[in-house]
Amino acid sequence: MKSQFNKSMNIVDVLFLAIGAMLGWGWVVLSGEWVSAAGFIGSIVAFLIGGLLVIVIGLTYAELASAIPETGGGFVFVKKAFSPGIAFISGWSVLFGYVSVITFEAVALPTVIDYVIPFKHHGFMWNIAGWDVYLTWVLIGSIGSIVLTSLNYFGVKPAAIMQTVFTIFIVAVGLLLVFGAGFNGNFSNLKPFENGVGGTMSVLMMIPFLFVGFDVIPQIAEEVKAPSKKIGGILILSIIASVIFYLLIVFGVATGLSPSALNTSSLATADAMVNLFGHSGFGVLLVLGGVAGIITSWNAFIIGGSRILYAMAKNKMIPQWFAYIHPKFKTPTHGILFLGVLAFVAPLLGRPALSWIVNAGGIGVVLGYLLVAISFLKLRKTHPNLERPYRIKNGQIVGIIAVILSILFIVIYLPGMPSSLAWPSEWLIVLVWYLIAGVLYLTQKRKTTEDAYVSIQGDKQSDYQ
């Protein structure tokens, strides 16, 4: 069946789409925490181990993306391996993670703008969880959502071009930090380890969620004008490039700030940049790199999330409204508008509520990883003759490791773990999200059954006439 999408994205577009998704705002706000918690070598070890783990999971996606290059990515893989019900859980779970990032970025944008252009906000609206929400603050995030939604509405190519430009800017700013560290950094600050194994583990736990985004590539496989084999290769390359970027940022921050300065800094990456170059303008430049990161991850998850909605609607699992493809722009415009509305209203909840959502959404992405890894193993057995242009070696071992790692990532969220989800706020969000899933699935299943019955009755009547 002919695809409804245009093949308008080249390999460079795809590479920057994934890298931009993974280099969000975290490298600006969390780098000081990494170095303080684990030390320089401890952080490097955490990123090397974590990066290796993500690459293992990425390999399963890479093989399946080249073998089944259809819009919907992981959802489509799981559907081919298992029942529609399990595929629904997979798609809905990953969508949860994407929605949480999209809404969070709509809140991160005004937060960062405050750092670059500090001003007193006006139009007090309400207080949520001890945080005052102002109209002027909300408008920054909401206007950002209108711009990004519009960009995606009018075709994937304009969004891809913007993604490439902004990702290059992020990388350039990061390299400038490393350049400053190499010439002006204090290498005596490079304390190997802090807080022993526990410190390294605390950084390791953050890593899977810093790398959410490589899985956007399979979502848009139908829109890539390149051989299927290259899609798998570019997915792995995007993860490796992002690991290298994070390692360089750790080096820049560790040499740019003393341990005591790290402990008192609220934005260590920016402060390290100022310290290394001796001018506050460089700190603003780095924060602008963070703004670019917010936009690239936000943009990538609008692209990925709208394609998941399309694939699920096309398979009659959610309302058909989401399966609409614009005849001129060839984008799933209804899905894009839906995600745009969520981002538009998100700032009304203030920062605390949005951190609950993004924490809760992480469990969805990891559950999606697990189901794809299991599907990878099953399809190797049930469909051995499926053409796999990007076939990985030792697939059985890689698949088993990916399953084990995914389960370990899920365990991180469970009660009793250091980074477990908070009760009741975060767990209630998870429960409500999956309750909506149950209602949607049962409603759509009943509707599909009724439509099939009506169709059969119509056929019978026509036979009698």
Instruction: Compute the distance between CA of residue 170 and CA of residue 177 in angstroms, rounded to an integer.
Output: 11
Instruction: Compute the distance between CA of residue 297 and CA of residue 19 in angstroms, rounded to an integer.
Output: 9
Residue recorded with tokens 């969805």: 364
On whether residue 420 sits in a domain, the answer given is yes
Its domain, for residue 444, covers: 11-463
Which of 55, 54, 56 lies closest to 398, judged by CA?
56
- C-alpha torsion 234→235→237→239, nearest 10: 160
pLDDT of residue 201: 83
Instruction: Say how many C-beta atoms besides its own lie within 10 A of residue 2's C-beta.
Output: 4
Which of 21, 31, 30, 25 lies closest to 178, judged by CA?
31
Instruction: Compute the distance between CA of residue 54 and CA of residue 48 in angstroms, rounded to an integer.
Output: 10
CATH code (residue 127): 1.20.1740.10
On whether residue 5 sits in a domain, the answer given is no
Tokens for 54, please give them. 């993500």
On whether residue 414 sits in a domain, the answer given is yes
On whether residue 353 sits in a domain, the answer given is yes
Instruction: Compute the distance between CA of residue 227 and CA of residue 242 in angstroms, rounded to an integer.
Output: 23
* DSSP label of 134: E
On whether residue 266 sits in a domain, the answer given is yes
Instruction: Compute the distance between CA of residue 242 and CA of residue 23 in angstroms, rounded to an integer.
Output: 7
On whether residue 2 sits in a domain, the answer given is no
pLDDT of residue 50: 86
Beta-sheet pairing, 124-128 with 131-134: antiparallel
| 213: helix, strand or coil | coil
Do 296 and 109 form a contact (C-beta atoms < 8 A)? no
Do 27 and 267 form a contact (C-beta atoms < 8 A)? no
pLDDT of residue 119: 78
Instruction: Compute the distance between CA of residue 461 and CA of residue 453 in angstroms, rounded to an integer.
Output: 12
On whether residue 144 sits in a domain, the answer given is yes
Length of the chain measured in residues: 465
Number of domains the chain is built from: 1
pLDDT of residue 156: 82
pLDDT of residue 211: 85
On whether residue 412 sits in a domain, the answer given is yes
Q: pLDDT averaged over consecutive 10-residue blocks of the chain (465 residues)?
A: 71 91 84 88 91 90 90 90 89 90 84 79 84 87 90 84 93 94 86 79 79 86 82 91 94 90 85 91 91 90 91 88 86 91 88 76 86 94 90 91 88 73 82 89 78 59 57
pLDDT of residue 176: 95
Instruction: Compute the distance between CA of residue 17 and CA of residue 216 in angstroms, rounded to an integer.
Output: 8
Q: What is the largest CA-CA distance in the chain?
A: 91
pLDDT of residue 400: 94
Instruction: Compute the distance between CA of residue 146 and CA of residue 340 in angstroms, rounded to an integer.
Output: 7
Which of 252, 279, 290 lies closest to 116, judged by CA?
290
pLDDT of residue 275: 92
- What element of type H or E holds 128? strand 124-128
The values of phi and psi at residue 319, to 5°, are -50, 140
Instruction: Compute the distance between CA of residue 245 and CA of residue 252 in angstroms, rounded to an integer.
Output: 11
